Amino acid sequence: MPPVWDLPHRLHVQSSDDPWDVIPSLAAAPFLSGELPAARMVTLPDALSARAVAPEGVVEREVVSDRWGERLLVRSGKAVAMVEHRPTEGATVWIVAADAGAADNLADTVRARAGAGEEEPEAVPVEFWYATPRGPRSVSRSIDAPAWEEIEPNYGAAVHAQLAGLVGSARPSGQGRLVLWHGEPGTGKTTAIRALARSWRAWCRTLFVVDPEAFFGQADYLLDVLLDRAPGVDRTVDRATQWRLVVIEDVDELLRADARQLSGQALGRLLNLTDGMIGQGLNVLLLLTTNEPVTRLHPAVVRPGRCLAEVAFSPLSVAEAHAWLGGGGPRPGRPLTLAELYALRSGPSGPSGAVDVRARGDGPYL
């Protein structure tokens, strides 16, 4: 068998290809030929444009697409960089250089250019993970996240006390790697996740798993994400100090009392991740949300010592809902969820229409 660098390779451009498709091939050509054998990939979810993070050099090719975003091919000294920017995902930079040192230096330059921009505190980078036939992949996006102080009034006294302690906490110590949030829909669980990600961003990356069934059902997918083995992972981060918060929403079926019959090994892997052998030595927290009441959850999930925090989200009481609405007008006749309160504030013409705030049953509106 001939050496790998002697293997034949061809790059074809077809009539169906557009300029957007051609640039990656041009960037790959010197790597395949061996002219520039060292490659690096840098992910920059907060980048505002391709040119904002592109290295200094000559822009050989440029494509701007209303649908996809921007792609640049930049020759910087003896290296070549392809910069791709998508408005909802930030930028990814592929670098090919003559040697590892040159590739690392250019990658550091690109990261420095990205960090030189003005940081928006409300924009929090989140990695969205999903399974593909070629293994797990992620898309990094910056999402708008409110500060905890902005959303505090959205939660009743009991929920507020639990969330405030969690949001203000530093790196966890001791046992408990599971954060369990449960409660009926519309009580503000997703909003609280965004605020938590913003509060913890200095010491914790946020990962969102799009397909929880595959994540817990496929051991290789779970381990690739937990061990940072998947393509595109930034391996310059100090794993000894950097924590990761893995967020999985609406895992009702996985957490029910009959989960072992319905979900097979998925529940076992979940439990093993939080305080078993899989999770040992990993700076990983798992945040799960469910609409199920705690009485319907599997007892192994809520046993003492497993949870770093268990928060039961509930509607605001009549008095809290009345205060949230500004104290004017008639008092609601029953507790109201956050979703109902926002719908009430927007009025009958709002996206959700009118909300019935009368007491449950046939009682009059109070």
Outline which parts of the chain fall under CATH 3.40.50.300.
123-313
b/e map 187-214, b = 16+ CB within 10 Å: bbbebbbbbbbbbbbeebbbbbbeebeb
Tell me which of 14 and 322 has the higher pLDDT. 322
Residue 301's closest CA among 251, 252, 255? 255
- pLDDT tens across 25-82, in order? 899 989 988 899 999 998 887 788 889 899 999 999 999 988 889 999 999 998 999 9
The pLDDT, as a whole number, for residue 229 is: 74
Residues with Cβ within 8 Å of 125's Cβ and at least 6 positions away in sequence, in order, are 45, 46, 90, 140, 141, 142, 201, 205, 206
The pLDDT, as a whole number, for residue 21 is: 85
- pLDDT tens across 97-120, in order? 999 999 999 999 998 888 755 556
Top-tier CATH class for 4-115? alpha beta
Give the C-alpha separation, 50 to 64, whole Å.
Answer: 10
- The whole-number average pLDDT for the span 228-239 is 60
Give the C-alpha separation, 58 to 194, whole Å.
Answer: 40
Its pTM surpasses 0.75: no
Top-tier CATH class for 123-313? alpha beta
Q: How confident is the model at residue 360 (pLDDT cuts 50, 70, 90)?
A: very low
Give the DSSP H or E segment for 94: strand 90-97
Neighbouring C-beta atoms of residue 4, cutoff 10 Å = 7
- The amino acid that residue 83 corresponds to is V
Outline which parts of the chain fall under CATH 3.30.160.
4-115
Neighbouring C-beta atoms of residue 56, cutoff 10 Å = 10
Could you give the 3-state DSSP secondary structure of residue 33?
Answer: helix
Q: What is the DSSP letter of 233?
A: -
Distances (CA, A) of 104 to 32, 42, 95, 243, 347: 19, 10, 9, 24, 56
Give the C-alpha separation, 215 to 138, whole Å.
Answer: 13
